[in-house]
């Protein structure tokens, strides 16, 4: 099987997340995308208004009905209280998969641009192949600038499908991996802006051009009163 790990805060999960997953399935011939809400994200430790249980429940609602999308508990809060690191999670997932399974790490362009700040960034890029969901204005020179020291683009990027590029990465030890860049997506959705909009009554609905949240997610948010306080706290 070809499986992509898609981690993140998902606070809340929105139509942009679903669009990224489905674009990856289409262009990379994936069998499954695993949505993994993170327990404690080191780079956003102070920016997670909703608790893990609520975010997990919302992700389960968002992916329901699409058998290609699943929810993973690999990035759930750790018993030792430590931060969740993608490098460690990918190693654990790789060990749980069959030897013949192909593993990818799916990220949005904005997240990839912060890669240098991630724990074990250089090793991370060689733990598995990465798939980056492009956005308007995301260029290959942006990608190269985001690579950690010692990792470089090797050779000329190859066009796999309209707008979908394959980039070979290499480090001084001759370790290699592939980075796939998906076509530009028109989804320009900010979870922070969604939370602010909820305070004034955002409407949810089917994931189309008129909505940013799945209907089931907005119902859950209203039922449980999420994001209604200061914008920084929610129920335990």
Least confident residue range of 8-17, 68-77, 87-96 = 8-17
Q: Which domains does the chain have, with CATH numbers?
A: 2-189 (3.40.50.620)
Least confident residue range of 138-147, 168-177, 201-210 = 201-210
* pLDDT above 80 for 233: no
pLDDT level of residue 231 (50, 70, 90 thresholds) = very low
pLDDT of residue 136: 67
Task: Return the half-sphere exposure (C-beta side, CA atoms, 13 A cut-off) of residue 139.
Answer: 3
Write the pLDDT tens digit of every residue in 182-218.
877 655 556 666 766 665 454 555 565 447 889 899 8
Give which of 96, 93, 105, 86 is closest to 177, Cα–Cα: 105
pLDDT level of residue 83 (50, 70, 90 thresholds) = confident
Angle at 95 between CA 123 and CA 107, to 5 degrees: 50
pLDDT of residue 232: 39
pLDDT of residue 131: 96
């Amino acid at each position: 099987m070809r499986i992509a790990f898609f981690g993140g805060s998902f606070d809340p999960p929105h139509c942009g997340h679903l669009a990224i997953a489905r674009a990856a399935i289409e262009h990379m011939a994936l069998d499954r995308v695993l949505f993994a809400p993170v327990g404690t994200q080191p780079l956003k430790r102070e920016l997670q208004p909703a608790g893990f249980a609520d975010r997990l429940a919302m992700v389960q609602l968002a992916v329901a009905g699409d058998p290609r999308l699943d929810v993973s508990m690999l990035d759930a809060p750790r018993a030792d209280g430590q931060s969740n690191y993608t490098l460690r999670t990918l190693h654990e997932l790789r060990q749980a998969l069959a030897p013949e399974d192909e593993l990818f790490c799916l990220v949005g362009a904005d997240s990839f641009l912060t890669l240098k700040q991630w724990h074990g960034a250089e090793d991370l890029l060689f733990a598995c192949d990465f798939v980056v969901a492009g956005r308007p204005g995301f260029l290959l020179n942006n990608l190269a600038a985001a690579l950690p020291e010692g990792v470089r683009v090797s050779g000329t990027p190859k066009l796999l499908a309209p707008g979908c590029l394959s980039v070979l990465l290499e480090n001084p030890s001759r370790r290699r991996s592939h980075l796939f860049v998906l076509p530009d997506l028109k989804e320009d959705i900010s979870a922070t802006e969604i939370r602010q909009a909820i305070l004034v009554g955002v409407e949810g609905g089917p994931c189309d051009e008129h909505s940013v949240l799945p209907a089931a997610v907005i119902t859950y948010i209203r039922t449980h009163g999420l994001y209604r306080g200061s914008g920084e706290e929610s129920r335990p």
